[in-house]
Structure 1
Amino acid sequence: MDLPAEEECMGDTGLLIDHRIRNELGDRLYAVLKSLWPVTCQTCRRALGGGQHTLAVEQFGVVAQATLHHPGCRESRWILRSTMPVTPPATVVHRTGTFLAPGNHGNPDAARAVVLLNPGLERVLLIREAPIGHWRVALNRGFETAGLVPGARLDLDRPVFGAVAVLRPRSVVITFDHPDITPYEADVDDETRQLIEARAGLLLAVTHALHPRTLAGPDAIEPVIQGDRSLMGWIELNSAHSGAAQRNWVRDRRPTRGGVHRLWLC
């Protein structure tokens, strides 16, 4: 699916990047740019639109965050802070997409519904691998605390313990027990809904590597499974935690939804 121009992945062209940011990130700058989409300015909360944008980085110890801004709102700088600033959830745009994964060789008994989530288009966390090591793009640690794991360690027989899926008339809402993770909602069609009900759950893939609305086939999902910017987990439908999880869902913060697609996972 083609994206509107304002949601195309960032490149170096048209982006103002301070020399210290380039020096600090080195060859990891490419991964950072490929994890950002210019939708909303993280200073004024207005649309970034076309033209130039600035990349800003704030560091707190071995953790940092990279964000996109209008040039007039914030200059491109690498800033050291004593505490990590908290970006309001309403400022960061996320996207979801729902996919059908028939499984190996089209085995109907192995079919699964997959929700792909990019939790932040204009903001990513960075983790330093060692005190003087390289920086890498990372997800909010709350996802890992909830039980999501890298794709290589995924076990569909072991549901995530800190999240639950709740079906609504035309969507599925995934809520987390972790206070730092807001609920996420994705559209589902009748076939996907029936599959979630039949399997009593769904596969959640959280990543900064992909925009959920760009996937068109199995090759595109490979970075989610193999990459280091992604976490996955089996989310049970109406698990023992569903009551607490539903109470945590703030109705006036309904997320942007994605479309329904079909995908083979082999």
Structure 2
Amino acid sequence: MAITDVVVDDRIRAELGDRLHQVLGCLYAGNCQTCGRPLGQVPTTLSVSDLGSAIAADLHHATCRLSAWREIQITWADAHFRTSHTIGFVMPGESQGRPDPRAMLLVNPSLEQVVLTRDRGGRPTVQPNVGFQAAGLRTPLEVGFDRPLADVVAELRADRAVVVFESGLFGPFEFVLDQETYELAARHGSVVLAVTHAVDPHAVRGLPDLAPVMGGQATVMGLVELESVRRGRPNVPGPDLGKRLVVQWDPHEIWAGELVDHQAELLSDADAKAWAEQRLAGRELHPWEPLGAAGPVGWSTVVKDLHNQFVLVCHSDGWRLVELYARSQGTIDEPNARAWASEEIKHRLGIPAAVWTPGPTSIDATTLYAAV
């Protein structure tokens, strides 16, 4: 059942307006997103962090975090604190006038936190994390089931299905299945996956309880192929763009972009900037600015007139020059960092979610790389 007894700051009420009811209707009393302990022993507060392009609304103990609308300094809760609930069931359907039931897997990936995006009118509305959409899932009104998702796969085990996002953005999610649902999944070689904030799957008792799932923007869906089916089909690689992508974050900011070059020598800052300027020869640059709010880990510059931004960052194996696609301030955890970067790269390059792997990094930072 959605949480109702929660302390809400006046600024949050003013910013959300009538959308406050929608937000509270999508939050459930799981764990405090500050300390990780169960909610309910003390009053619960609603906290909102506004990064501009994304907004996070989450629940906390009143003794851990006061209710407030915080701008710029967005703090994504530790992924281990979030509670995900799942359920698998038979969804009735019809094809060419004949019954065609399907195995459906429903997951709420975070009972205590929702992500909001602004609609065309600038009003915040609840949507599943943009990383799910980057993986190809769509709202019930937009989704098509003619082809499976490229970066998501399901595996049938003894009495359950396990859904894996191959990019590592989310999950894996496990769904306990009854025999009928299991056999339907095996027969079709696929399942319908629905990611929602509209309901708590553990509270679903019948099809009428699913009505909120099929309307609005709080659900995204897609057809997920079984791993056994995918394994038996020839692998057709996607287009090779020949680009090396980088995303790096620390306690103060996150950025993502395309690697321009790597200098393996551990040069001084002055020599590293001279090397970068040679690589950017012919472009008029603004003066270099320190990169890193807690202390310089590199440098950033902007090309005059064109406004292209570059960062020069010192890693454990030398210096890297990166052309930025996006940059934002705030604190973020790894799943949301991966999702944010994949969405920015999707908008920039028009490709699905990249497969990120760890690599050389800076002090107090995390850096992931992807080849596309």
Question: Taking structure 2 as the reference length, what is the TM-score of the superposition?
Answer: 0.59
Matched residue of 1:133: which SS? coil
Instruction: Answer yes or no: is the 8 Å Cα contact 1:154–1:233 preserved in 2.
Output: yes
Structure 1 CA distance, aligned partners of 2:184 and 2:41?
A: 40
Corresponding residue to 1:99 among 71, 89, 98: 89
Out of 225, 238, 241, which is 2:214 matched to?
A: 225
Matched, 1:113 2:106: no
Q: Retained in 2: the 8 A contact 1:102–1:108?
A: no
Q: Distance in 2 between matches of 1:188 and 1:218?
A: 16
As a proportion of its length, which structure holds more strand? Answer: 2
Can you give the 5+ residue segments of structure 2 that lack an aligned partner in the other structure?
Answer: 233-372
1:242-253 equivalences under 5 Å are none
The answer to whether 1:10 aligns with 2:3 is yes
Check whether the contact 2:42–2:61 (CA below 8 A) recurs between aligned residues. Answer: no
Go from structure 1 to structure 2 and tell me whether the alpha carbon gap of 1:177 and 1:127 turns closer, same or farther (over 3 Å shift): same
CA distance in 2, matches of 1:30, 1:36: 10
Partner of 2:192: 203
Cα deviation per residue 1:68-101 (whole Å; 9 max; x = unaligned)? 011111110111125x433222110010011112
2: CA distance, partners of 1:241 / 1:137: 36
Rounded Cα–Cα distance in structure 2 between residues aligned with 1:85 and 1:16 = 19
Point out which structure has higher relative CO (alpha carbons under 8 A, 6+ apart): 1
> Equivalents in 2 of 1:54, 1:145: separation in Å?
31
Q: Which runs of 5+ in 1 are unaligned?
A: 1-7, 243-266
Q: Is 1:38 the equivalent of 2:46?
A: no
Q: Aligned equivalents of 1:21 and 1:185: distance in 2?
A: 35
Q: Hey, what does 1:167 align to over in structure 2?
A: 156
Percentage of identical aligned residues? 37
The secondary structure found in structure 2 opposite 1:194 is: helix
Aligned residues between the structures: 230
Instruction: State whether residues 163 and 241 of structure 1, in contact with CA within 8 Å, keep that contact through their aligned partners in structure 2.
Output: no
Contact 2:55 2:117 in 1 (8 A): yes
Please tell me whether residue 145 in structure 1 is matched to residue 138 in structure 2. Answer: no
1-structure distance, mates of 2:99, 2:31: 42
**1:14-50 deviations in Å (ceiling 9; x for gaps):** 3111000000000000000000001100011001125
Given that 2:16 and 2:123 are in contact with CA atoms closer than 8 Å, whether structure 1 keeps it comes out as yes
Amino acid at match of 2:216: G
RMSD: 2.0
Structure 2 counterpart of 1:99, which letter? Answer: F
Report SS of the residue matched to 1:16.
coil
| Deviation, structure 1 residue 108 | 7.3
> Residue type of the partner of 1:100?
V
- Do residues 234 (structure 1) and 223 (structure 2) align? yes
SS of alignment partner, residue 22 of structure 1: helix
Distance in 2 between the 1:23 and 1:62 partners? 19
2:267 match:
none
